[in-house]
Every structure is written in structure tokens, then in C-alpha cells.
Amino acid sequence: MEHHDAAKDHAKKPYLMLERKVSVGDLLTVCSILVSAILVVNAWRIDRNLRRKEEADKVRAAAATTLVKLDRWEELSLSIFSKVDPAFVNTKESLQKDSKTKLEQDTARHELWKAILQAEVDVQQKILDDHVEGGYMGLYTYDPSAREEFDKVLTTLNNNQFHMYAALLTRTEKLVMDAVQGKRFDPDELYDNLGIEAMGIKNDYWESVDNTLRPVRNALTELTHKSDEELLNNPHLKIPVN
């Protein structure tokens, strides 16, 4: 009786038999899917790194271009001193020892001013033609606040340049007037004094330009040396005030 009941219970329970067979083809399919997924992810990562490198290289190129443009601006700005030297020669030659009339004095002073002002115009035109501002346009997309930073720098440079022109005009004029009104007038001495005065103005001006541009150059040079991650993860160009 007990045997019969056990057999009966056994008959009630379904007997499941799972046949698990994995073929070589199935394994190859799974491996192919995994390999394809790895290749896709790897290709995406490579493409992402390439795009980021291109973006970082554009920033470095913009920084390098800006450095070149600023150096060019400084070179052009300082070129006025070589341009006015012939005017000193003309002033010397127009004021000989016996040329002491008021008309000749005024003419010499007028011609000197005219030459300096013309040199200023020529220098400013070359700066405009060189499109110095275009050098740092590429940095605006990297850090929009860079525009404000460079506007401050250009304002300072332009102010320094204005004061330099004013000093060159007034101080050379004073030398001419003092020389011709003195008891002993020596054209060669006047020429030497004009050159010395211009050199002093140039040195003072160059120092002011260098003080303004040095932090800019340091900041831009630092950009060119940063890694891709450093550039793109923290897009900020800060120019400290010197």
C-alpha cells in the first residue's frame, strides 16, 4: 500500500529534464558580439580623444598666434624711434649757427612736430594693417571672458603709447627751443641731445610695455604647455594684473 502511494505521488510530479548543449557556433557568436562591442567602444574613445586633441591644439595655436601678434605690436610701436631719427638730422641741418630768426626757429619746430606726427600715423597704420586683434580672436571661443581681459591690456597699451607720443613731442620741442634761444648754439650738440632724449623716452616706454605684456605672455605660454585634459576641463584664461 505504501509502495502504491509513493508511486502515485511520483506520477503526480512532472519530471523535467533540461538538456543544455552549447555549440561552437554559439560561442563564436557570443565572442563576435563582445569583440564588436569592444571595438565600437574603443573606436568611440579614440574618436573622442582625437576631437579633444584637435580642440586643445586649436587653443594652443590661438595662444601662439596671439604671442606672435603681441610681439609684432611691440616691434611696430617701438619703430617710431627709428622713424624720427631722420627728423632730428633735418632739424640739425635747418638750424645752423647763424640761423637765429624767429621764423627759422618756428619752421624747425614745426617740421620736427610734423615728422613725429607723421611717424605716429605710419606706425598706427601698420598696426591696423597687421590686425593685431585678430591674433586672439581664437581664444574667445575657448574662454569668452578673454575678450574683457584683452580689452584691458589693449587699453593700457594704448594709454602708454599716447603718453609716449606726447613726451616725444613736448620734450624734443623743448630741446630745440632751449638750444636756439641759448647764448651758444651748436647743431651737433642739439642732434646728440635729441637722440639722448628720444632714447630715454624709448626706454621708459619699452619698460611700461614690457610690464603690461609680461603677464599676458606668461599666461599664453602656460596655455601652450598644458595637457589636453588641463586645457579642456578648465577653459579659463586669467591674466594677472602686473
Higher pLDDT, 5 or 226: 226
Q: Residue 236: how many CB atoms within 10 A of its CB?
A: 9
In a domain, 52, yes or no: no
Confidence of residue 18 (pLDDT cuts 50, 70, 90): very low
pLDDT of residue 44: 65
Does any domain span residue 5?
no
Average pLDDT over residues 200-221: 94
Q: Is residue 6 part of a domain?
A: no
C-alpha to C-alpha distance for 124 and 7, rounded to whole angstroms: 111
Residue 116 lies in a domain: yes
Q: Model confidence over 94-111: pLDDT tens digits?
A: 776 555 566 667 777 888
User: Does any domain span residue 53?
Assistant: no
Q: Give the model's pLDDT for residue 233.
A: 82
Residue 161: per-residue pLDDT:
94
Enter the DSSP assignment of 131: T
Over residues 129-156, the mean pLDDT reads 82
Question: HSE of 20 in the Cβ direction (CA atoms, 13 Å)?
Answer: 2
Residue 3 lies in a domain: no
> Following DSSP, what letter does each residue of 165-225 receive, concatenated?
HHHHHHHHHHHHHHHHHSSS--HHHHHHHHHHHHHHHHHHHHHHHHHHHHHHHHHHHHHHH
> What average pLDDT does this structure show over 4-11?
52
Q: How confident is the model at residue 224 (pLDDT cuts 50, 70, 90)?
A: confident
Higher pLDDT, 96 or 121: 121
Using CA atoms, how far residue 111 sits from 57, 158, 172, in Å, is 51, 25, 12
pLDDT tens for 35-69 read: 766 766 666 666 666 677 888 888 888 888 889 99
Residues in contact with 71: Cβ distance below 8 Å, sequence separation at least 6, in sequence order = none
The domain total for the chain is 1
pLDDT value, residue 223: 87
Amino acid 20: pLDDT: 54
User: Which residue did the predictor score with more confidence, 238 or 21?
Assistant: 238
Alpha-carbon 215 to chain mean position: 11
- Evaluate whether residue 72 is within a structural domain: yes
Q: What is the pLDDT of the chain when averaged over all its residues?
A: 80
DSSP one-letter code for 234: S
pLDDT in the model for residue 39: 64
Backbone angles phi, psi at 18, to 5 degrees: -90, 125
- Domain hosting 205: range is 62-233
CB 231 within 8 A of CB 59: yes
Q: How many CB atoms lie within 10 A of CB 17?
A: 4
Q: Is 75 helix (H, G, I), strand (E, B) or coil?
A: helix
Q: Report yes or no on 44 lying in a domain.
A: no
pLDDT of residue 84: 92
